Amino acid sequence: MEAGIVGLPNVGKSTLFNALTLSKAAQSENYPFCTIEPNEGIVSVPDQRLDRITKYIVPQKLIPATLKLVDIAGIVKGASEGEGLGNKFLSHIREVDAILQVVRCFEDPDVTHVAGSVDPLADIDTIETELMLADLQSLENALGKAQRTARSGDKEAKLRVTVIEKCSEHLNEGKPLRLLNLNEAESAAISSFGLLTAKPILFVANVDETDLDGKNPLVDKVRQHADKVGADVACVCAKLEAEIAELDEEDREEMLTDVGLAEPALNQIARAAYHTLGLQSYFTAGEKEVRAWPVPIGATAPQAAGVIHSDFERGFIRAEVYSLADLEEHGGEKEIRQAGKLRVEGKSYVMQDGDICHFLFNV
Ligand code: GDP
């Protein structure tokens, strides 16, 4: 699963990306279009539960869940018509599973704002409009073909035509497809189009160092908007985070204390992005490794096993499952088993966030 960082030029995307991936690869300069090719990075998702597990099961290796981030260059007004590097950006967005939109909520006279003033809602609107226009174009392109196939009596194509029309109508009302309720068959009919506004979105409010508590009227506006469009919001000072990310462990702790943060805001963003991607974690825990694995919320036990290896899904027999609370109460897996708390779950079991599992399977 991957999330793409988007936003207008000069809002702090590359700064955030660098901080998140600790990579110096993405250039961060006060210059629109400085990031042309998408940069990719892997980010681990900090999870306190891993530390709690390792109090009882001491592994040789501790492996957090990760997600892939793509730094997509800035979108400008007119991108859907090829303005800036329009179409190229849009095709990169098409490939990601979720969108992380960085919105500028920081004032800095030294950093040019493409639209002339700091106005996060106007920025959000600019991008959403471009994405909606791009979706309308994709739908329009697909409609002709679907109509021709439908004329020959093809049932699937008929459904596709209906859904395309429904989506276009919704977009023409100025609403992203994320807010349109489609049933499973309808969603499937258009799933190959890679529609941009159907993707889940997380707004990352990039604030001044002095606004880290999130009490900033601009951030409030972003929050109100996010509520309306079914999105989450995370707050960060990208510039500060980039500085923190470059420090070694000890200095990092000191700096965090100085600025009054319990942990880098990046941790919160990684978790929020994970959530926006519709993921939750389950754990495997043994002496060799304690590891968090990402699964889509609602996944069954065989699907979860399949995240480790596709053979595990195919040959799934059953899962042995316990919770962190069980571990903390009984102190070890053997004790959990003795207390009769080790649950045996079959193929239809729906994974719960934080399950600790063993899978039994045939090869
Ligand atoms: P991008 O075009 O969206 O990738 O933006 P960049 O990450 O290249 O940032 C543009 C400029 O804004 C750079 O000079 C950054 O140092 C600066 N910048 C980024 N984040 C912040 C922030 O939180 N506060 C301030 N004051 N400047 C920032």
Q: Annotated binding residue at 14?
A: yes
Closest Cα to atom 6, ligand 1: which residue?
A: 12
CA of 10 to the centre of ligand 1 (A): 6
Residue 154 to residue 221: CA distance in whole angstroms: 47
Q: Which of 105-114, 135-144, 178-187, 328-337 has the lowest mean pLDDT?
A: 105-114
Q: Which is the closest atom of ligand 1 to the Cα of 17?
A: 7
Residue partners of 19: CB distance under 8 A and separation at least 6: 238, 241, 242, 244, 245, 266
Closest Cα to atom 14, ligand 1: which residue?
A: 30
- Each residue of 164-194: pLDDT tens digit? 999 999 999 999 999 999 999 999 999 889 8
Residue 53 to residue 72: CA distance in whole angstroms: 36
pLDDT for the residue 74: 61
Helix (DSSP H) and strand (DSSP E) numbers for the chain? 14, 12
Residue 205 to residue 241: CA distance in whole angstroms: 13
- Each residue of 286-340: pLDDT tens digit? 999 999 999 999 999 999 999 999 989 999 999 999 999 999 999 999 999 999 9
Q: Which is the closest atom of ligand 1 to the Cα of 27?
A: 8
Continuous H helices in 96-119: none
pLDDT for the residue 202: 95
Q: Which is the closest atom of ligand 1 to the Cα of 9?
A: 2
Residue with tokens 């800035």: 74
CATH class of the structural domain 2-46+66-114+198-276: alpha beta
pLDDT for the residue 247: 83
pLDDT for the residue 268: 85
ipTM of the complex: 0.96
CATH of 298-361, one of 3.40.50.720, 3.40.47.10, 3.10.20.30, 3.20.20.10: 3.10.20.30
Q: What would the two tokens of residue 178 be? A: 């994320």
How far CA 43 is from CA of 40, 331, 355, in Å, comes to 10, 31, 22
Q: Which is the closest atom of ligand 1 to the Cα of 28?
A: 8
What lines the ligand 1 site, CB under 6 Å?
7, 9-15, 28-30, 34-35, 74, 106, 108, 111, 206, 208, 237-239
Residue 114 to residue 109: CA distance in whole angstroms: 12
Q: Annotated binding residue at 13?
A: yes
Q: Annotated binding residue at 11?
A: yes
pLDDT for the residue 35: 42
The domain limits of the chain are 2-46+66-114+198-276, 129-197, 298-361
pLDDT for the residue 79: 59
Alpha carbon 104 to its chain centroid, in Å, reads 19
Residue partners of 311: CB distance under 8 A and separation at least 6: 361, 363
Closest Cα to atom 8, ligand 1: which residue?
A: 28
Own/partner pairs, 78-87, CB within 8 angstroms, 24+ separation: 78/130, 79/130, 79/134, 80/130, 80/131, 80/133, 80/134, 80/137, 81/133, 84/33, 85/33, 85/36, 86/130
Task: Give yes or no for residue 106 having a pLDDT over 90.
Answer: no
Q: Do domains 2-46+66-114+198-276 and 129-197 have the same CATH topology?
A: no
Q: Report pTM.
A: 0.84
β-partners of residue 361 are 316
- The amino acid occupying position 321 is V
- Mean pLDDT, the chain, rounded, equals 87
Q: What would the two tokens of residue 107 be? A: 């004032």
Give, for ligand 1, the residue of 37, 111, 208 to mutate: max count of ligand atoms closer than 8 Å to Cβ: 111
CA of 271 to the centre of ligand 1 (A): 22
CA of 337 to the centre of ligand 1 (A): 53
Three-state DSSP at 194 gives coil
Query: What kind and span of H or E run contains 293?
Result: strand 289-296
CA of 253 to the centre of ligand 1 (A): 23
Q: Annotated binding residue at 332?
A: no
β-partners of residue 101 are 6, 203
Closest Cα to atom 2, ligand 1: which residue?
A: 10
Q: Annotated binding residue at 10?
A: yes
pLDDT for the residue 174: 92
- Each residue of 19-77: pLDDT tens digit? 887 643 333 443 334 444 557 888 888 899 999 999 999 999 899 998 888 888 666 66
DSSP string, 142-192: HHHHHHHHHHTT-HHHHHHHHHHHHHHHHHHTT--GGGS---HHHHHHHGG
β-partners of residue 69 are 3, 41
Query: What kind and span of H or E run contains 7?
Result: none
Q: What topology is assigned to 129-197 in CATH?
A: DNA polymerase; domain 1 (1.10.150)
Neighbouring C-alpha atoms within 13 Å toward the C-beta of 139: 26
